[in-house]
Amino acid sequence: MSKQKNPVEVLLNEKPFILLDGALATELERHGSNLADPLWSARVLVEEPEQIHRVHADYFRIGADCAITSSYQASLQGFEQRGIETGAAIELIKQTVYLAQRARQEVVGAGAKALIAGSVGPYGAYLADGSEYVGHYGVDDATLENFHRPRIEALIAAGADLLAFETIPSLQEAAVLLRILEEFPEQSAWLAFSLRDAEHISEGTTIADCVAAVGQYPQLAALGANCFPASITTDFVTGLKRLTDVPIIVYPNSGEQYDPVEKTWSGESVCTAFDEVASEWYAAGARLIGGCCRTTPEQIERIHAAIERT
């Protein structure tokens, strides 16, 4: 099959930056969904799918150029633990794409250039113990491949415009994901690591070593990070820009700290300052910009307005 055009490249040829959406799971909580479940937002997919559609639509209404599907924690293994057999689990993963597509159709309309990115969360998200922020799983490549491949296949089959490899804490897992992607040469993906600080991913590998190892994959649509403190975004983007010409993607958290054991948030949100700092991220070189945990449509709209003013 011939390779399709990279949808990120196509969109960036038409506009200066791509506005991503913000939090899905914590936005679902804000609307009353209970996420105290190992499946996290995938629980809502099973029991309250229209809530997911509602959140996607909210982001499209404020001008988001890309919706990230609710498949971050959706895996065959996780669904199996809830008594959902393989065939039904695959259909649920596909449903994450269909819900986002329907919201796009209803809000933006036919022929919309807004993208649907199929979320592929890390193996640690399935473990539901916070290890997506550590990365030391103690498993081999084959285990990771067998875990990730069915979800990737389902997202592609459902028509996701590209894949979002997100909150990836280790270079091993990033390399495995990109090798699987090579089996689908017509597809593109972005790769967003989770970070220890502005110069290291969660497991401790330097950003420079990560770029050297995986930054040249031809199917890589964007490279960056998500689910990290907004306070280090400018430093991270500045450093990454020195290392790569691949479009840089960032979607940080609100600034609050997550306790993966207690599953609670604490600390102060800096989202009210996103409109002050988002233009700095753009000036430093970020071209796909949004928010992760605890960010809202209103805050994403402020990011949009701030960058538009630059």
Give the annotated binding-site residues. 227, 292-293
- Strands 195-197 and 200-201, by their bridges, are antiparallel
21: left (phi over 0), alpha (psi -120 to 50) or beta: beta
Query: How far is Cα 98 from Cα 82, in angstroms, rounded to an integer?
Result: 22
Scan for tokens 């402020």, then name that residue: 302
- Count the neighbouring beta carbons within 10 Å of the beta carbon of residue 130: 14
Query: How far is Cα 146 from Cα 142, in angstroms, rounded to an integer?
Result: 6
34: left (phi over 0), alpha (psi -120 to 50) or beta: beta
Query: Which residue ranges are tagged as binding site for Zn(2+)?
Result: 227, 292-293
Query: How far is Cα 276 from Cα 77, in angstroms, rounded to an integer?
Result: 42
Please answer whether residues 67 and 57 qualify as being in contact, where contact means their C-beta atoms are separated by less than 8 angstroms: no
- Measured between alpha carbons, how far is residue 303 from residues 225, 276, 278 in Å? 17, 8, 6
